[in-house]
C-alpha cells in the first residue's frame, strides 16, 4: 500500500475474493464492520477469521470485538504489503450442552445454561425452540457486553427414558439478522 493504509481482502470460505476493505492503521472494529457492509451491499457479519503467519500453529483466529480486532489489525500492519486475507463469518459457532434429566410423569425439570456475549455492546436475543419439550423462562433477554447470561430451560414431564437433541435459536434483535444456535442433548433416565 503506497498510502500507508491497511488492506483486508474479504473471502467467504472459498478461493475467490469478494472485496477489499482499506482502513487507516488506527481503525476500530466498527470501521471494519462498516467497510464490509459498504463493500458487500449491507451484508451483516458475525465476525472474521484470519491466520497470523507469526503464529507457529497457524490456527485461525476470530474477530468479533474490539480486543480481537486489535490483534487482527496488528497482524495486518506486520505484513510487508500491509494486506491480510480474512474470511467472513456470517454465523456464530453452535454452542452445545448435554443435560441429564429425570424421567417422571409428574413434573418437569428446570436447568440453567449460560450464553456468552462476545460483542463490545449489549445484545438482546429473542429465544425460540424447535421442540415442545423445552421452553425458556424468558422469551427475550439482554446480555451486557462481554458477559454471560443464564438461560433457564423448562422441560415438560417425560415419563419414559429417552434422548433427544433440542435446538434453541437466539436471534439478535432487529436490525440484525444474525442467529445463534444452542443445541441441547437431553437425556431422560
Burial tier of 131 (Cβ tally within 10 Å: 0-12, 13-18, 19+): middle
- For the stretch 29-83, pLDDT in tens is 999 999 999 999 988 899 999 999 998 889 999 999 999 999 999 999 999 999 9
- For the stretch 119-178, pLDDT in tens is 999 999 999 999 999 999 899 999 999 999 999 999 999 989 999 999 999 999 988 889
What is the value of pTM for the model shown? 0.82
- Return the closest-CA partner of residue 92 out of 176, 184, 185, 186: 176
Domains and CATH numbers, the chain: 6-89 (3.10.20.90), 95-188 (2.60.40.10)
Omega of the bond prior to 150 within 30 degrees of 0, cis? no
d(CA 146, CA 118): 5
Angle in degrees, 0-180, between the axes of helices 29-39 and 66-78, rounded to the nearest 10: 80
d(CA 41, CA 102): 50
Contacting residues for 13 by C-beta, under 8 A, at least 6 apart: 87
Residue written as grid cell 503467519: 53
Amino acid at each position: 500500500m503506497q498510502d500507508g493504509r491497511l488492506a483486508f481482502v474479504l473471502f467467504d470460505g472459498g478461493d475467490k475474493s469478494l472485496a477489499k476493505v482499506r482502513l487507516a492503521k488506527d481503525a476500530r472494529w466498527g470501521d471494519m464492520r462498516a467497510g464490509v457492509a459498504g463493500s458487500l451491499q449491507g451484508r451483516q457479519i458475525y465476525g472474521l477469521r484470519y491466520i497470523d503467519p507469526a503464529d507457529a500453529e497457524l490456527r485461525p483466529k476470530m474477530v468479533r470485538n474490539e480486543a480481537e480486532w486489535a490483534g487482527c489489525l496488528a497482524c495486518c500492519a506486520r505484513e510487508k504489503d500491509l494486506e491480510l486475507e480474512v474470511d467472513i463469518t456470517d454465523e456464530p459457532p453452535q454452542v452445545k450442552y448435554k443435560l441429564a434429566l429425570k424421567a417422571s410423569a409428574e413434573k418437569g425439570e428446570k436447568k440453567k445454561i449460560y450464553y456468552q456475549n462476545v460483542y463490545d455492546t449489549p445484545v438482546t436475543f429473542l429465544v425460540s425452540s424447535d421442540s415442545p419439550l423445552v421452553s425458556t423462562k424468558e422469551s427475550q433477554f439482554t446480555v451486557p457486553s462481554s458477559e454471560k447470561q443464564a438461560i433457564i430451560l423448562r422441560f415438560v414431564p417425560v415419563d419414559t427414558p429417552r434422548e433427544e437433541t433440542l435446538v434453541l435459536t437466539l436471534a439478535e434483535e432487529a436490525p440484525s439478522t444474525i442467529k445463534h444456535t444452542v443445541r441441547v442433548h437431553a437425556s431422560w433416565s
